[in-house]
Structure 1
Amino acid sequence: MFYDYHVHSNFSPDSKTSMTKMIETCINLGLKEVCFTDHMDYDVKQTDKFVLDYKEYLKTLELMQNKYKGKITIKKGIELGLQPHLIEKYNQDMKNYKFDFIICSQHAIDKNDLYYDEYFKNKSQKEAYEVYYKTLYDIIKNYNNYSVVGHVDLIKRYGNYSNILKDSLFIDIIESILKEAIYKGKGIEINTSCFRYKLPDLTPSRKIISLYKDLGGEIITTGSDAHSPAFISCKFDYICSYLKDLGFKYISTFNNLKPNFIKL
């Protein structure tokens, strides 16, 4: 039984697929549970489309929970695009709206979406990576209303570089990010979009996953980051086997922001 804890629907502007279609695909694939984590990204220069209507989103999720009761468990999740100046805004949002699961992601720095070139201008590749990790650490240190850190090394996906820099160049700050998350009782996700983007390693990398375990991290979720049915639970059989071989005993699901541990 697989549990996909990073799935998008057409509540996210980069998906054209309805919740109904995503859910029915999950059922056909035999998933035990799915958590929708549609985007909420405030204050991005390149677009204002990633701001969803919390009330309508949660209302639709509740309708889906009732419609598919007994067939699949559907959890209420959200993927927050954090920037340091948005911490108080998201703190207030998370007080006003109740979720089972919250991904803390960093998609933009200084209001520039990493998908576009603006962030990378006038920076070396090393500087671009370093600023990304230091900013993520600032967020993790000062923001608490989340369940897992999303795609820790997302920066590797962008920048149109010919190669990906080694984790060892930034290992001190990466370790600090993981330590802070562990100290606060938070987890990380394995995001299998790495296969869709044809990255040379997992997301986060095997080195980062191993470091998280060595530091005592235990909360880990599996997420496809699927925006269409074709990628739901992508390579989860491999990921679960890999985690078990690495020494993890459980993956996590969430209910009312509390982790449940599912034996691998």
Structure 2
Amino acid sequence: MYLCDCHTHTRISFDSTASLSDMMAAAVQAGVQELCITDHCDLLDGDGKPTLTFPWQEALDQYHGRGDAPLTVRLGLELGSAPYNPQAARAILAQAGEELDFVLGSLHNWIGAQNNQDFYFTNFTADPGLCRQAVENALSHTWELVKEHPDCYDSLAHINYPLRYMARDGQHLTLEPFRDQVEEIFRQVAASGHALEVNTCRGMSLEEWLPLLRWFKDCGGEYVTVGSDAHQPEHMALGIPEALELLREAGFSHVTTYQGRRPVCHKL
């Protein structure tokens, strides 16, 4: 089993205080063989305001100063809301040059509704209808990402992201009612040679991934990345061994990492 964690954050992200050295030490302690740092670059902040830059110099300085460790460390980026401003997204990616290994394509925000705020800040408690609107908004812009802007991502990050906050607010929705839309997205991801991410949400999100993996497999999907979404060292690789078992159960023979934005397959 190739233990890799391809969705992690450091102090470069607004919601982490962790140093790269501490995250690397935690990865070694957890037995991780390959670590990818994917700090946040959200084109919309939590309140929905445009944030169209990324501190590449700071990120590169941290990466270049990482020192030696008995594991592979890759430079990635979690690029959020690329459909909101694809020109800015492409400009940010170009600034990284050839050192960029991996891009997670994520959608944390409403786009064109609810003031473009992060789904995290939406109160879903008393409005099941709002839950459906949120999923439809997220899926419509996910479709735009994979269809119109495939150069802005390598792996499609946490497609179930809005469901986290519905569950927090007592609304337990799944993607089953939206299966046709999801499978259309998956077919496009597969046809374009991109990957799907299994995001364990620090070990708290596992069981819901098995049907999604099976859908992706049925849609011709080949590449799957796994990530804990760790923002602190103590969360490193939580749920990753279980996620790899889910891949095996869904019929996949390998897990995927990226180097130079090209997929690298590792046998499960």
- Tell me if both proteins adopt one fold, taking TM over 0.5 as the criterion: yes
The RMSD of aligned alpha carbons is 2.3
Q: How does 1:123-202 map to 2 (within 5 A)?
A: 124-145=130-151, 146-159=153-166, 160-193=168-201, 195-196=203-204, 199=205, 201-202=207-208
Distance in structure 1 (CA, Å) of the matches to 2:13 and 2:82? 19
Assess if the C-alpha contact under 8 Å between 2:202 and 2:238 holds in 1: no
Indicate whether 1:17 and 2:24 are aligned: no
Runs of 4+ in 1 over 3 A off after TM superposition: 47-52, 118-123, 199-202
Give the equivalent residue in structure 2 for 1:55. Answer: 57
Bigger mean CA deviation after superposition, 72-81 or 86-95: 86-95
Give the equivalent residue in structure 2 for 1:220. Answer: 224
Aligned partner of residue 193 in structure 1, secondary structure: coil
Q: How does 1:23-34 map to 2 (within 5 A)?
A: 23-34=24-35
Indicate whether 1:68 and 2:73 are aligned: no
Assess if the C-alpha contact under 8 Å between 1:5 and 1:35 holds in 2: yes
Distance in structure 2 (CA, Å) of the matches to 1:200 and 1:30? 20
Letter in 2 for 1:141: K
CA displacement at 1:148 relative to structure 2: 0.2
CA displacement at 1:144 relative to structure 2: 1.6
Letter in 2 for 1:103: L
Letter in 2 for 1:155: P
- Per-residue CA deviation, residues 98-150 of structure 1 (Å, 9 max, x unaligned), is 31000000011232111112799985322222222112112221112221000
Change (3 A) 1:34 1:167: same
- Flag structure 2 segments of 5+ consecutive residues without an equivalent: none
CA displacement at 1:250 relative to structure 2: 0.4
CA displacement at 1:211 relative to structure 2: 0.4
Indicate whether 1:92 and 2:91 are aligned: yes
TM-score after normalising by structure 1? 0.89
TM-score after normalising by structure 2? 0.88
Distance in structure 2 (CA, Å) of the matches to 1:200 and 1:49? 32
Aligned partner of residue 190 in structure 1, secondary structure: strand
Aligned partner of residue 36 in structure 2, secondary structure: strand
Letter in 1 for 2:148: N
